[in-house]
Amino acid sequence: MAPDTVRPAATQRRQLALTVDQKALILFLVILAAFLGFWELGANLKLFLPIMPSASQTIKDFWFWISNPFFDYGPNDMGIGWLLLTSLRRVLTGFAIGSAIAIPLGILIGLSPIVSKAVDPFIQVLRPVSPLAWLPLGLALMKDSERTALFVIAITSIWPTLSNTIFGVKNVDPAYLNVARTLGASRWRTIRQVILPAAAPNIVAGLRVSLGIAWLVIVAAEILLSGGIGYFVWNEWNNLKITSIITAILIVGLVGLLLDRLFGLLQARVSFGQRS
Amino acid sequence: MRSYLTPSVTYGSDTAAAHLSIQAVSKVYRGRQAWTDKLLRQTSDDFVAIADITLDIEPNTFVSIIGPSGCGKSTLLNILAGLSRPSSGSILLNGKPIQGPGPDRGVVFQNYALMPWMTVAENLRFAIDTVYPAMPAAQQKTIVQEYIDLVGLRGAEHKHPHELSGGMKQRVGIARALAINPQILLMDEPFGALDALTRGFLQDEVERIWEQQRKTVVLITHSIEEALLLSDRIVMMTRGPAAGIADVLDVPFPRPRKREELDQHPAYHALKAEMEHHLSRETRAVEAARIGRS
């Protein structure tokens, strides 16, 4: 008897109650609406500086850039799609160069305590340097802005991947290594079949951080160089078009999010439940 | 009988019976005694884990080593596996000294030690391909399937370890250790991380498998029932430091053994009582020493 009387009440409560995700979505929409409302109202009541556009103007302009991404009326008037492709090409090329240096170097350092101790001072000194500090040196060495951008991005991409690769290779679960030893596996076979797959989640985590930082740095580098989304931001500041700058900020953020998610998927693929 | 109940035919003639001889083996972990340590006041004394252990293990016998925790059981097994070198003494396998790890000894680890990025079949295949690189792929596959069947995991070949329960993982661990056709099987508390029901189930499985493949087995355990169910001989170790062998018991129960019928044997209760007495005395002494030290 008792369960029968209890069940309807329980199901009713379940229908009314919102899940955590639903509640979060509602709160998100409320915050967004409050923010946009305050912005629109403030701009109309002239609470901000006159240069500040209203929310509706910004959204209109955002839609203009989004709806027509690929036009080209000369280097100072290009669709956002072309600008993004330029920046992405630079980031991905520089990131590939940086990773091609960082991963093998990290494996070597991780495997050898001697190399590790010998190389560590170089890494410790170079890692905290702002990537932009390399930019003048890059211009001097490369003598052109495209290759300087790649140079700066490559150096930026090295550090997180390098330190994560070293950590991953050094901290392979000794149980796996013991298995390889008891089977009499050669050093080379152990590295290829055991150490690298075991370190893969850490390496990919490093790549993910590297790519995120590279995407941060490309905007700053392009403000100083030319072309790409960073140059666009600076150019629109010179045109005093704040709506375009806000548009660019949002798009840079969304592309960064997308890149991060892609690497998140790759990370899940190589983890096999080693971390959730 | 189903055909898969006769593994190791794939290797051709069965390997010769292995005789393992442990001769006066000690293991000392060196403390920090260098002048730099003294300067930093970080010195520590040498620690004698096991002292002067001598034991002969006959071919095709199942030997359990039991003792209080921290008595150096695992140290001894690591030395047998070749993962750790004895400080003195030597170990002979069929008269030849053991110099390091090797595929003549299959090891089952307490934490399973399966490669998480490999499927069940790939874990076995990795072991076989490492030990027998010249073996044709088709034959390797046959052996993989044979041993997956032996431990009752047919259907789970393409699962990754994180999709398996602890008991299933250790089945893979056992299959991997056996698949390389070692002369000796070394098991380091293989069921220690499992719940009681799964543990009992896996013990029965090991008993069944051992009836089919009478390899020389050294099992480290802290379970009296486990030792009684599986062993021909039980080696009882004293507490550490400087742990040694207290006594070696012969287990006379006929095989194949059934867990339910084991306690009907006249010797069962006397053996069990003797082991319980020994273990509780040693454990109490360990605790007393620890209280006295602090």
pTM of the model: 0.83
Residues 6+ apart with CB under 8 A from B105: A182, B80, B81, B82, B93, B182, B183, B184, B185, B186
Q: Which of A64-68, A271-275, B198-202 has the highest mean pLDDT?
A: B198-202
Distance from CA of B12 to the nearest CA of A (A): 20
Helices (H), A225-241: 228-238
Predicted ipTM? 0.85
User: Residue B241, preceding bond cis, omega within 30 degrees?
Assistant: yes
For the ranges A64-73, A152-161, A214-223, the lowest mean pLDDT is seen at A64-73
Among residues B51, B69, B20, the alpha carbon closest in space to that of B233 is found at: B20
Residues of chain A numbered 186-225 and touching chain B (CB < 8 Å): 189, 193-194, 197-198, 200
With CB atoms and an 8 Å threshold, state whether B130 touches A184. Answer: yes
Residue among A173, A182, A273 minimizing CB distance to B101: A182
Tell me the residue range of the domain where B80 lies. 22-104+183-288
Vertex B159 angle, CA B141 and B187, to 5°: 75
pLDDT band at B16 (very low <50, low <70, confident <90, very high): low
pLDDT at B2 > cutoff 70: no
Q: Are residues B95 and B194 in the same domain?
A: yes
- Looking at the 3D structure of chain A, how many domains does it have? 1
B294 within domain boundaries = no
Both structure tokens of A270: 């190589």
Distance from CA of A183 to the nearest CA of B (A): 5
Vertex A186 angle, CA B141 and A273, to 5°: 65
pLDDT band at A80 (very low <50, low <70, confident <90, very high): confident
Up-side HSE of residue A108: CA atoms within 13 Å toward CB? Answer: 10
pLDDT band at B35 (very low <50, low <70, confident <90, very high): confident
Say which CATH number the domain at B53 has: 3.40.50.300
Residues 6+ apart with CB under 8 A from A22: none
pLDDT at B109 > cutoff 50: yes
A149 within domain boundaries = yes
Identify which has the larger pLDDT, B195 or B7. Answer: B195
Say how far apart CA A194 and CA A177 lie, in whole Å: 7
With CB atoms and an 8 Å threshold, state whether B105 touches A182. Answer: yes
Identify which has the larger pLDDT, B43 or A243. Answer: A243
Tell me the residue range of the domain where A201 lies. 98-271
User: Residue A50, preceding bond cis, omega within 30 degrees?
Assistant: no
Say which CATH number the domain at A259 has: 1.10.3720.10
A227 within domain boundaries = yes
Average pLDDT over residues B31-40: 80
What's the pLDDT score for residue B7? 44
What's the pLDDT score for residue A12? 55
What's the pLDDT score for residue B34? 79
Last residue of a domain, one of B182, B212, B233: B182
pLDDT at A10 > cutoff 80: no
Average pLDDT over residues B65-77: 87
According to DSSP, residue A193 is labeled I
Q: Are residues B100 and B121 in the same domain?
A: no
Choose, out of A173, A178, A183, the residue to mutate when testing the contact with B (most B CBs < 10 Å).
A183
pLDDT band at B147 (very low <50, low <70, confident <90, very high): very high
- Percentage of residues in chain A having pLDDT higher than 90: 60
With CB atoms and an 8 Å threshold, state whether B130 touches A189. Answer: yes
